[in-house]
Structure 1
Amino acid sequence: MTYYDLHTHTRASDGMNRPAENVKLAKEKGLTGLAITDHDTVAGIREAQLAGNELGVEVVPGVEISTRVGDKDIHVLGYFLNIDDKKLLARLVSLRRTRELRNERIIENLNQLGIAITLEDVKYGLGRELRPDESLGRPHIADTLVRMGAAADFRDAFDRYLAEGRPGYASLPRISPEEAILWIREAGGAPVLAHPGLYGDDDLVISIVEKGKPAGIEVYHSDHGPEDEQRYLQIAQQYDLIPTAGSDYHGVRGGVVFHGDLGTRSVSSDTVEKLRQAAGTGRVI
């Protein structure tokens, strides 16, 4: 059997590793391939593909687009999209600008709590220059809070300040999941609703599926339990969606793997071929 982890992040967004490091790790774990799905950017894919060519690991070009419905952040994954599509790249720039504004709001919230943190502190913690096509996220802010001593560890930073509903959290208006699905299709890709179990609202999940008609749904995810998997597999079957799997690997922070180790959630090559065929067609094969 051949296996692919279809949800991994690199330092092009909020992962810890270079794209080539993710590919090397996939090779070491015996995977046939992996997808690079950074938040609102495709900046890490070229490097990953070069490494994949050298190591014999297929790199599925992907992205994870940030959207919002009411008070919930919803993520949509895109696979096999054209990463040179000019309209897509311009749209991703606009999404990263929204992300930057959100980061500024989070910093303001933390300052009001008496925490003397700046965006410059966060960027300094990267240890390198941030490229224009890369993005900062809450994990970077969490790392900075830990370095400052304002949080005991990465998880504590989220639990106390950065998770939804906590005093440092902020969210700005974003595009809808349906728009993200359309953007991915227009760029020749196959859209998949990411980690539905994290939203805590299956009625909303079904509404997105019915309105947006994605090609697939991420049934198997590091934060899904067996009951979640069974429930979303049933939704996939009911709506003729491709059931996908991904670890949502972000690397290791403070000795802890976040969300799950690369390769711990995977699909066979049959699923990858279904996504490849569904890409850009508006239908499920």
Structure 2
Amino acid sequence: MTPAACVEEAKRVGLAAIAVTDHDTTAGNAEAEARGAELGVEVVPGVEVSVEHEALTVHLLGYWPEANAPALGALLAGLREQREERNPRILRRLAELGYPLDEAELIAEAGGGVIGRPHIAALMIRKGYVASLDEAFDRFLAKGAAAYVERGKPAPEAAIKALLAARAVPVLAHPATIGARSEAEVERLVAQLKEMGLRGIEAYYHAYSPGQIAACLRLARRFGLLVTGGTDYHGTRKPEVRLGCIGGGLCVPYRLLALLKAERGRL
């Protein structure tokens, strides 16, 4: 789904605003903002960055990064390069396991954008190798699965520093799904990231239970962090996810965006 199509879907379902946070690239932000201006939908440009942190799967969101910020641009370019080096290795592993994929088809699946594991999973579904995105990741693509290949990622401090240098508000993405073994482990991570300059925590997320939302809100209060929310919408790749819906018919309230914008003004 293109950035413009995401904004069009936001308009269709009645959202006042939408954030675009592609992994490792800001290339789609201008297209989304232009379409948002045409449709009357407020678009928050952003990016999502994977960082290295022990055994946890940690992602950082950055809202309103300045265009052409040198440090962030270099960090994102390095991440894209790591993806480009990893993808052929994943394809080789899948072929060895009896699930060959054509690289040209994979490029087409990504629509010319940054190729990631979700594109590989989507192509596996089309080939009939797996029935769903979850099955592709559980059996082959998730950390520790049969075809998983590790890639280099920046330290969280370096990523937060680059985001702040670009005047982007750094937020911890979906902390209840990072592979932590306990709430205490998440608390230790948040405390470390706060010291590095973290400004917010994604407390509302489509896959969260009410208990997980409550736990994230407690973390935000304890560490004085802003609260954000997101659906992690991927179009048809995650058909069970509705844009703007975080479960139980709830939507992320606009007042959270207003507070986030105020923080951006202070950077």
TM-score scaled to structure 1, two decimals?
A: 0.84
> Are 1:34 and 2:13 counterparts?
no
Match of 1:10 in 2: none
Comparing 221-230 and 100-109, the one that deviates more: 100-109
Match of 1:110 in 2: 94
Match of 1:7 in 2: none
Match of 1:83 in 2: 67
Partners of 1:203 and 1:106 in 2: CA distance: 34
Match of 1:23 in 2: 7
> Are 1:179 and 2:179 counterparts?
no
CA shift for structure 1 position 219: 0.5
After TM superposition, what 4+ stretches of structure 1 lie above 4 angstroms from structure 2?
A: none
CA shift for structure 1 position 217: 0.3
User: By percentage of residues, which structure has more helix?
Assistant: 2
> Are 1:242 and 2:197 counterparts?
no
Whether the 8 Å CA contact 2:69–2:165 is kept in 1: the answer is no
> Are 1:257 and 2:239 counterparts?
yes
Q: What whole-Å deviation, never above 9, does each CA across 1:209-264 have from its counterpart, x for those lacking one?
A: 222211110011011111100111101000011111110100013xx515x21010
Distance 1:47 1:190, change over 3 A: same
Whether the 8 Å CA contact 1:143–1:154 is kept in 2: the answer is yes
Distance 1:212 1:159, change over 3 A: closer
**1:267 aligned counterpart, secondary structure:** coil
Match of 1:225 in 2: 209
Match of 2:120 in 1: 141
Q: Higher RCO, 1 or 2 (CA under 8 Å, sep at least 6)?
A: 1
Q: Residue 97 of structure 1: which of 76, 81, 103 is its match? A: 81
Partners of 2:192 and 2:220 in 1: CA distance: 15
Distance 1:154 1:113, change over 3 A: same
Distance 1:48 1:107, change over 3 A: same
CA shift for structure 1 position 105: 2.6
**1:35 aligned counterpart, secondary structure:** strand
Whether the 8 Å CA contact 1:215–1:275 is kept in 2: the answer is no
**1:51 aligned counterpart, secondary structure:** helix
Partners of 1:196 and 1:97 in 2: CA distance: 26
Residue identity in the other structure for 1:276? K
Matched residues, number: 258
Partners of 1:84 and 1:57 in 2: CA distance: 24
Q: What whole-Å deviation, never above 9, does each CA across 1:89-125 have from its counterpart, x for those lacking one?
A: 2221111111222222322221221322243331143
Match of 1:195 in 2: 174
**2:59 aligned counterpart, secondary structure:** strand
Partners of 2:92 and 2:51 in 1: CA distance: 22
**1:171 aligned counterpart, secondary structure:** coil
Q: Residue 58 of structure 1: which of 18, 42, 52 is its match? A: 42
Whether the 8 Å CA contact 1:81–1:279 is kept in 2: the answer is no
Percent identity, aligned pairs only, is 39
Residue identity in the other structure for 2:67? I
Match of 1:163 in 2: 142
Residue identity in the other structure for 1:135? V
CA shift for structure 1 position 281: 4.4
Whether the 8 Å CA contact 1:220–1:245 is kept in 2: the answer is yes
RMSD value, Cα: 1.9
TM-score scaled to structure 2, two decimals?
A: 0.89
Is there any run of 5+ residues in structure 1 with no aligned partner, and where?
Answer: 1-16
Whether the 8 Å CA contact 1:185–1:281 is kept in 2: the answer is no
Residue identity in the other structure for 2:186? V
Match of 1:206 in 2: 187
